[in-house]
Amino acid sequence: MEPRIRRRALLRLALAGLAAAMPAAVRAQTPSPGVAAPGPLTRELQQALASATERFQALDAAGVLGHVSDQYRNGPFTKPALREQLLAMFTLYDSVRARVRVDEIRLVDGAAWIYSTGEISGRLRGIGLWTSALTWEREPDVARQEAGVWRLVGPGP
């Protein structure tokens, strides 16, 4: 599996994103599209992220996938492929942690572009050693409301 796609899939598990092609210093200087999300919406999205993170740390694949749209697509990855990635990760690790900081949320054509920074780590099953599985900095993910619930639909640009 291509490393960029694998990392993006893991990032989606914590509702964050695949490394952008631009270096972080260049991305930081590039203006974000859309308009800043208002405070109440920002809090709503942060609560959704906290709920997804909680389900991830509970090793609850179905709970995590409840935060992902059936229309989710990241290159060749779809929601069923993401489910397989989650199950593989939960087989590899007996405990996982996701630390995600929301850097910015922008509204673009009715979608929320969520820029985040974070790390996913896990304790290797049978060994007990904690390892970092993924880190990212200011990566975009796109969420849309479906039936009144914010769900991840794919990577940002």
Q: What is the pLDDT of residue 156?
A: 78
Written as tens digits, the pLDDT of the chain (157 aa) is 444 444 444 444 434 332 333 344 444 456 678 899 999 999 999 999 999 999 999 999 999 999 999 999 988 889 999 999 999 999 999 999 999 999 999 999 999 999 999 999 999 999 999 999 999 999 999 999 999 999 999 987 7
Residue 11 and residue 134 in contact, taking contact as beta carbons nearer than 8 Å: yes
The whole-number pLDDT of residue 9 equals: 45
Q: What's residue 30's pLDDT?
A: 60
How many other C-beta atoms can be found within 10 angstroms of the C-beta atom of residue 9? 22
CB 12 within 8 A of CB 137: no
- CATH code, residues 3-155: 3.10.450.50
- CA-CA-CA-CA torsion for 43, 49, 50, 52, nearest 10 degrees? 150
pLDDT of 12 reads 45
Residue boundaries of the structural domains of the chain: 3-155
User: The whole model's pTM is what?
Assistant: 0.78
- What own/partner pairs with CB < 8 Å and gap ≥ 24 does 120-123 have? 120/10, 120/11, 120/13, 120/14, 120/96, 121/96, 121/97, 122/89, 122/92, 122/93, 122/95, 122/96, 122/97, 123/93, 123/94, 123/95, 123/96
Side-chain-side CA neighbours of 86 within 13 Å: the count stands at 26
Report the distance separating Cα 81 and Cα 90, nearest Å: 14
The confidence score (pLDDT) of residue 23 equals: 42
